[in-house]
Structure 1
C-alpha cells in the first residue's frame, strides 16, 4: 500500500471473510482468446474454494474446466466513497466425483437458471488479494466524501 492513497491491502483471511458476504461475483476467463467476464452467484466451500453452479451444457462450464480463471467480488458504498474488492485466482474444475457432487447439491449454490443437468465448478484459491477504499481518501490526501 502506498501512504495516503486511500486503499488498505487486505490479508487472505479478511478477503475470504468479505467474499463470503457478497451475493454476486464475476468469473473472468478466456473465450476465443479474449477475456470474458460473467456475473454469477456463488458460495465459498469450507476450504475457501469458490463454488459455482451452472448447466452442464453451458459455455461457462466448458470454457473454465481445467483452466486458470480469476474471480472477483466487491461491495461499494457510493454515498461514502468506500468499499472493498477481492480477487481470487486459481484453477477451475468441474466437480465429477459422485460423493462430492452429492455433498455440493446440499451445501453449494443454486443456479440462477436451473437446468436438468447442473454441474458445480470449483475454483481453488491459489492467489487471493483484496483492497479496501477507506473513507474516500485519494493519493493526494483529498477527501472525496461529501
Structure 2
C-alpha cells in the first residue's frame, strides 16, 4: 500500500491510499480518483516528503517532522470537508440506499409505481441523463456512498 498526497485542479488537497503506484495511475487515468471537496476527477499527485525507515533504535529521540500532523484519513481536515461529512451523514441517516438500482427506483417513484421516499444510490451517466431529460428530480451527490453489503 502507498499513501499519496493529492491535489485537484481547483487546488484542494487531500490524501489517499492505493495498492501501488500503478494502481493510482490506472484509477486516475480512468477518472476514478475524485477530489473529496469538489468531486473533480482532475487529480494529480502533490509534492510530498517520503517516509523512509532509518533502521535506528526506536527509543532514540527522533528529529521533529517537517510535515503536517497525521490524522485519520476519515477525519475532516477543514470546514469544507466537515460540511461534506455532515451532508453525507444526514443523507445516509434519512434516505434508503438502493445501490445500482437507483435509476429504476427513482423512475418508479416519479411515476407512482413505488412508494414515495428519499433514496440515494448509484447510476451510470446515461441513466442519470435520461432521468433528468424525463423530468425526474435527481441530483448528483458530492461524495461516493458507502457500499452496503450483506
Higher percent of residues as strand: 1
Task: Kindly name which structure, 1 or 2, has the bigger radius of gyration based on alpha carbons.
Answer: 2
Structure number with greater CO (CA < 8 Å, separation at least 6) is: 1
TM-score by shorter chain over 0.5: no
TM-score, normalised by the number of residues in structure 2: 0.23
